[in-house]
């Protein structure tokens, strides 16, 4: 009959289901399974994924199609969650809208060079990180004078208002670089090529994407210094408390590294520009 | 009052429908199911009572089984095993920390720690890590987790090979306290990178996966127990109503004041239901306490301890490897911030913020999560001690970095490794000790909740059937003499 011990969880779920059925017959009582959030990305048949539209090499929209490392990672995760490619839609997000769109369920997850921070963790649940990027420096290949962040002293460094990258070098690291303002990192790239500035500093994956873009466009050859000055764990943003979804995404990321997919994608997108990528699975944040 | 028995009598007196199946008196709908003779009705009601009793016993049995299963997994089985593996990360980081210590100390004596001591601790950690890793691998219940466990073993082998080479080479070209030769440093960097990028993330993810198993059991069983309470109350209520209906029918039909055995059966049924519901609610609370105030906090603080220890090792590495000092300083900051988060762009600003931090709110990180938890005896005072000790450790760090920047590296190394109070090693040990005490408070909560949970369902496996048999016997005792009147 009913065992006191040794029952598997699945058998127990069946048994409590049977108890619910008996209860429904007796008292028409509700038998909602607590903790089973119907909205979890672990159980969705289709996914809307928030994506950067303007980061070459990571998430770049051309017409209605997206391409980049983040896009491929998003497709792999969706596939491993059992959602076919045809059921995955991308929607552009910015750093100002990410949390809001997750909360409003406008997007099911955000994969958009989204760094996990303790403050953000109070608003959204993060699976992953799927990669730990580092703030690094991009220079013209002909420039050999910059080997680490301290060498930026007196150099003209791109300063994008609203971005933390410039103050991280000047204020936090105390390196007296000269500010050259630009509205976007695209403009930084143009100015670096034209010689209007000496260096661009931001996440290495973004720099690698820019360098690859530049090589494709036939611009001056660029070089990533490979002198990391911060850890930027790129997480998969999920609606707050979607613990089941977080665990499912973590499992997808784990298998993506185990079967070599992650290494292949990293080499494909960032290998050609000489960025030293890490091809082992990052340390996860944990889901609760 | 008299309307019902009359109607019943009339119904009983009416010619059985069976004789004229197509007649106009044929009853329609559910009324067809009501037996026509009084004896048949007593039998039917009694049968319904027995069915309701069986359902009540079954749902109670089920819910108690759920509660026991949940308690067994969390309190005796996977729970303690996961807690045992949570130290894996600590032991691994400490292996690398001791390797860095050994290389930094070199042949120097009288620093408070010697190379031999560091290496002995390295070996101890290695043995413990191997045990925890085996345990974690046993808990792995999915192919991807098994693969992770296997990868940790392989990567740890690579680490040890490089660590061995670095130590051997370092010994051949002995040096006093301070950075070793470049060739040794290169080997150490390779080893440390494997630990940082390969071994530690996977070991950490593995213990996270193990925790998932406990979370699933907890959520399933706690939901099952709470649904069980509703089911027990509902089934028990139906049982009591049926017993009362039988009582009313018998007393009216046979013009008695009370059927004592049935009344007693009703009382037993009420008691059974109430006791079942109360016990199960208590079990649900014990499960919650064991999981949320015990297990979760133990794991979370174990992680804080491991990451803090790793940050402490980054302080050593900062002294050991000047070429990578910037990187080690940056990871020291980010690890410190995951332990106790205060917004700060650089280490100096962070130290400033930590020194100014008072009270138990206004910060995040592992200790922030702990601070948000309230109502556990002794936790308040223990947490205050942890934070005070952490503040001292961070102040030491600030001093050490100041000495290095002022070109006084030897003093910095003494401030790092010395045994006396005021040295960073001693202050870190004090911080770590205070954290272990805080963990112990949660371990006690966990043990208490598990003990209460185990005690709460003791004797149910025979108590429940006995209560069931008692109710059934009383019903039989109440009904049989009445039915005998019809023979």
pLDDT at B476: 92
Task: Give the chain B residue whose CA is nearest to the CA of A26.
Answer: B235
Q: Is residue B423 part of a domain?
A: no
pLDDT digit string, tens, across residues B196-242: 999 999 999 988 888 888 898 899 999 999 999 999 999 999 999 99
Spacing of C-alpha B115 from chain mean position: 39
pLDDT for residue B60: 94
Which of B418, B48, B136, B363 is closest to A122 using CA atoms?
Answer: B363
Model confidence at A85: pLDDT above 60: yes
Gyration radius (Cα) of chain A, Å:
23
> Shortest CA distance to B206 belongs to which of B297, B267, B271, B145?
B145
Q: To the nearest whole number, what is the mean pLDDT of chain B?
A: 87
CATH code of A81's domain: 3.40.190.10
- Which pair of structure tokens corresponds to residue B383? 């947490």
The structure tokens 């980054």 sit at B314
Bond before A129 cis per omega within 30 degrees: yes
| Residue in A with minimal Cα distance to B307 | A283
Range of the domain at A101: 41-132+233-273
Cβ distance of A287 and B461 shorter than 8 Å: no
What's the pLDDT at B25?
53
Strands A222-224 and A135-140, how do they pair?
A: antiparallel
pLDDT at position B29, please? 67
Whether residues A219 and A166 share a domain: the answer is yes
Confirm whether A184 is domain-assigned: yes
In chain B, positions 267-296, which contact chain A (CB-CB < 8 Å)? 296
CA distances from A216 to A53, A245, A274, B411 (A): 19, 38, 15, 53
Q: Same structural domain for residues A124 and A251?
A: yes
B238 close to A (CB below 8 A): yes
- Residue ending a domain, among A195, A224, A253, is A224
Domain-located, residue A56 = yes
> Which pLDDT value is given to residue B263?
93
Is A122's CB within 8 Å of B364's CB? Answer: yes
What's the whole-number mean pLDDT along residues A192-198? 92
Residues A220 and A238 in one domain: no
Residue B346 falls within a domain, yes or no? no
Query: In degrees rounded to 5, what are phi and psi of residue A135?
Result: -70, 130
Is B362 a member of any domain? no
Q: Which residue has the tokens 């420096």?
A: A137
**A11 or B119: which leads in pLDDT:** B119
Question: Cβ atoms within 10 A of the Cβ of B355, count?
Answer: 13
User: Is residue A48, in this structure, part of any structural domain at all?
Assistant: yes
The residue of chain B nearest to residue A164, with distances taken between CA atoms, is B345
A170 assigned to some structural domain: yes
Instruction: Identify the top-confidence range among A24-38, A236-250, B25-39, B421-435.
Output: A236-250
For residues B291, B292, B294, B298, the Cα torsion angle rounded to the nearest 10 degrees is 110
Residues of B in contact with A34 (CB under 8 A): 219, 222-223, 226
Tokens of B447: 């043990």
Q: Name which of A30-44, B246-260, B314-328 the model is least confident about.
A: A30-44
B248 in any annotated domain: yes
Q: pLDDT band at B48, cuts 50/70/90?
A: very high
Give residue B43's domain range: 37-322+458-484
| Residue B4 pLDDT > 70 | no
| Among A residues 134-153, those touching chain B with beta carbons less than 8 Å apart | 148-150
Which of A206, A224, A242 represents a domain boundary (last residue)?
A: A224
Q: Please determine, for residue B421, whether its predicted confidence score (pLDDT) is greater than 80.
A: no
> Cβ of B373 under 8 Å from any chain A Cβ?
no
Chain B touched by A20 (CB under 8 Å) = yes
- B230 at the A interface (CB within 8 A)? yes
| Global ipTM | 0.81
Average pLDDT, stretch B318-342?
88
Whether residue B253 is contained in a domain is answered as yes
What's the rounded mean pLDDT across residues A20-42? 49
Q: Is the pLDDT of residue A3 over 70?
A: no
Residue B457 has pLDDT above 60, yes or no: yes
User: Measured between beta carbons, which residues in chain A are less than 8 angstroms from residue B201?
Assistant: 280-284
Give the tokens for residue A239.
């609606």
| pLDDT at residue number B30 | 67
User: Residue A21 has what pLDDT?
Assistant: 43
Closest-approach residue (CA) in chain A for B62: A2
Amino acid A38: pLDDT: 58
* Residue A139 belongs to a domain: yes
Chain A partners of B159 at a C-beta cutoff of 8 Å? none
Looking at the DSSP bridge assignments, the partners of residue A90 are A49
3-state secondary structure of A35: coil
Provide the chain A residues 48-77 that lie in CB contact (below 8 A) with chain B: none
Q: Please list every residue in chain A whose beta carbon sits closer than 8 Å to the beta carbon of residue B52.
A: 26
Q: Tens of pLDDT along B119-134? A: 999 999 999 999 999 8
Judge whether residue A200 has pLDDT over 70: yes
- List all residues 6 or more positions away from A148 whose beta carbon is below 8 Å from its beta carbon: A225, A227, B326
The yes-or-no verdict on residue B6 having pLDDT over 70 is no
Instruction: Answer yes or no: do A143 and A198 share one domain.
Output: yes
Residue B427, CA distances (Å) to A117, B370, B379, B394, B396 in order = 28, 21, 21, 9, 8
DSSP B126-163: HHHHHHHHHHHHHH--SHHHHHHHHHHHHHHHHHHHHH
Q: Does residue A32 fall inside a structural domain?
A: no
**Res. A11: pLDDT tops 70:** no
Closest by CA position to A80, among listed A253, A264, A280, A286: A253
CB within 8 Å: A19 and B461: no
Chain A residues touching B345 at Cβ < 8 A:
167-168, 171-172
Share of chain B above pLDDT 90, in %: 54
Residues 112-151 on B with a CB inside 8 Å of A are: 142, 144, 147-148, 151
Say yes or no for a CB contact (<8 Å) between A19 and B219: no
d(CA B441, CA B462): 35
pLDDT per position as a tens digit, B251-299? 888 888 888 999 999 999 999 999 999 999 999 999 999 999 999 999 8
Query: How many domains is chain B built from?
Result: 1
Asked if B132 and B88 touch (Cβ cutoff 8 Å), the reply is: yes
Mean pLDDT of B314-324: 86
Do A147 and A215 sit in the same domain of this protein? yes
Q: Name the B residues in 299-318 with CB < 8 Å from any A CB.
A: 303
Confidence (pLDDT) at B297: 93
- Answer yes or no: do A127 and A46 share one domain: yes
* Domains: count for chain A: 2
- Per-residue confidence (pLDDT) for residue B175, from 0 to 100: 76
Residue range B348-362: average pLDDT?
A: 89
Strand order of the β-sheet with A65-67 is A54-55, A59-62, A65-67
- Chain B, residues 163-222, CB within 8 A of chain A, namely 197-198, 200-202, 204-205, 208, 211-212, 215-217, 219-222
Could you give the percent of chain A with pLDDT greater than 90? Answer: 52
Helix axis angle for B88-105 and B296-320, nearest 10°, is 20
Q: What does the alpha-carbon distance between residue B433 and residue B438 come to, in Å, rounded to a whole number?
A: 9
Task: Give A103-150 pLDDT, tens digit per residue.
Answer: 999 999 999 999 998 889 889 999 989 999 999 999 998 899 998 888
Closest CA to A16 of B236, B75, B229: B229
Task: Tell me: do A175 and A125 sit in the same domain.
Answer: no
**How many Å lie between the alpha carbon of B327 and the closest alpha carbon of chain A?**
6
Within 8 A of A286 by CB-CB distance, chain B residues are 208, 211, 303
* B267 in any annotated domain: yes
Picking from B58, B147, B208, the nearest residue to A284 by CB comes out as B208
């Amino acid at each position: 009959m009913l065992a006191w011990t040794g029952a598997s969880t699945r058998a127990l779920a069946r048994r409590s289901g049977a108890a619910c059925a008996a209860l429904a017959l007796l008292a028409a009582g509700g038998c909602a399974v607590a903790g089973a959030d119907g909205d979890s990305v672990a159980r969705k048949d289709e996914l809307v994924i928030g994506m950067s539209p303007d980061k070459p090499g990571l998430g770049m929209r051309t017409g209605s199609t997206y391409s980049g490392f983040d896009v491929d990672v998003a497709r792999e995760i969706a596939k491993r969650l059992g959602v076919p490619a045809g059921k995955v839609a991308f929607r552009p997000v910015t750093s100002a809208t990410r949390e809001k769109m997750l909360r409003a369920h406008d997007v099911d997850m955000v994969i958009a060079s989204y760094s996990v921070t303790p403050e953000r963790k109070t608003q959204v649940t993060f699976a992953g990180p799927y990669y730990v990027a580092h703030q690094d420096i991009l220079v013209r290949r002909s420039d050999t004078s910059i080997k680490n962040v301290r060498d930026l002293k007196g150099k003209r460094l791109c300063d994008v208002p609203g971005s933390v990258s410039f103050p991280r070098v000047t204020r936090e690291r105390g390196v007296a670089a000269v500010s050259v303002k630009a509205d976007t990192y695209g403009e930084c790239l143009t100015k670096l090529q034209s010689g209007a500035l000496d260096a661009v500093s931001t996440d290495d994956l973004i720099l690698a994407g820019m360098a690859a873009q530049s090589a494709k466009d036939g611009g001056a050859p660029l070089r990533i210094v490979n002198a990391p000055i911060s850890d930027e764990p790129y997480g998969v943003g999920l609606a707050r408390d979607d613990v089941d979804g977080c665990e499912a995404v973590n499992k997808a990321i784990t298998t993506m590294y185990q079967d070599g997919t992650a290494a292949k994608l990293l080499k494909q997108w960032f290998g050609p520009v000489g960025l030293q990528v890490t091809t082992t699975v990052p340390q996860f944040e944990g889901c609760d | 009052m008299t309307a019902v028995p009359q109607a019943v009598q009339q119904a009983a007196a009416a010619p059985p429908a069976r004789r004229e199946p197509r007649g106009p008196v044929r009853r329609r709908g559910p009324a067809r199911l009501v037996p026509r003779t009084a004896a048949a009705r007593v039998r039917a009601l009694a049968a319904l009572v027995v069915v309701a009793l069986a359902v009540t016993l079954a749902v109670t049995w089920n819910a108690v089984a759920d509660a026991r299963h949940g308690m067994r997994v969390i309190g005796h089985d996977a729970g303690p095993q996961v807690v045992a593996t949570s130290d894996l990360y600590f032991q691994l980081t400490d292996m690398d920390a001791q390797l860095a210590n050994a290389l930094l100390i070199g042949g120097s004596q009288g620093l408070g720690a010697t190379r031999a001591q560091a290496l002995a601790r390295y070996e101890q950690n290695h043995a413990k890590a191997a045990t925890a890793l085996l345990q974690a691998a046993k808990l792995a219940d999915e192919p991807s987790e098994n693969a992770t466990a296997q990868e940790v073993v392989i990567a740890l082998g690579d680490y040890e090979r490089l660590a061995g080479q670095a130590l051997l080479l370092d010994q051949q070209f002995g040096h006093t306290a301070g950075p070793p030769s470049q060739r040794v440093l290169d080997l150490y960097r390779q080893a440390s990178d494997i630990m940082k990028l390969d071994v530690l993330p996977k070991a950490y993810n593995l213990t996270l996966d193990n925790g998932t198993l406990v979370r699933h059991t907890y959520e399933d069983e706690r939901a099952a127990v709470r649904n069980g309470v509703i089911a027990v109350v509902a089934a028990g209520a139906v049982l009591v109503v049926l017993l009362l209906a039988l009582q009313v029918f018998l007393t009216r039909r046979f013009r008695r004041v009370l059927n004592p055995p049935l009344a007693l059966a009703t009382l037993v049924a009420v008691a059974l239901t109430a006791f079942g519901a109360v016990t199960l609610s208590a079990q649900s609370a014990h499960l919650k306490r064991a999981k949320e105030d015990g297990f979760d906090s133990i794991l979370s603080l174990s992680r804080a301890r491991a990451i803090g220890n790793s940050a402490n090792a980054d302080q050593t590495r900062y002294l050991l490897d000047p070429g990578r000092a910037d990187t080690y300083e940056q990871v020291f900051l980010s690890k410190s911030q995951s332990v106790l988060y205060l917004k700060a762009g650089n280490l100096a600003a962070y130290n400033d913020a930590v020194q100014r931090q008072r009270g138990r709110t206004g910060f995040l990180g592992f200790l922030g999560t702990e601070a948000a938890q309230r109502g556990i005896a002794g936790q308040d005072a223990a947490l205050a001690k942890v934070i005070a000790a952490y503040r001292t450790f961070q102040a030491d760090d600030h001093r050490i970095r100041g000495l290095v920047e002022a070109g006084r590296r030897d003093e910095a190394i003494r401030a790092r490794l010395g045994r006396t109070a005021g040295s960073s090693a001693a202050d870190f040990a004090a911080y770590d000790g205070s954290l272990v005490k805080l963990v112990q408070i949660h371990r006690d909560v966990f043990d208490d909740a598990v003990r209460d949970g185990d005690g709460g369902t003791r004797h149910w496996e025979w108590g429940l059937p006995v209560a069931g048999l008692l109710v059934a016997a009383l019903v039989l005792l109440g009904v049989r003499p009445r039915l005998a009147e019809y023979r």
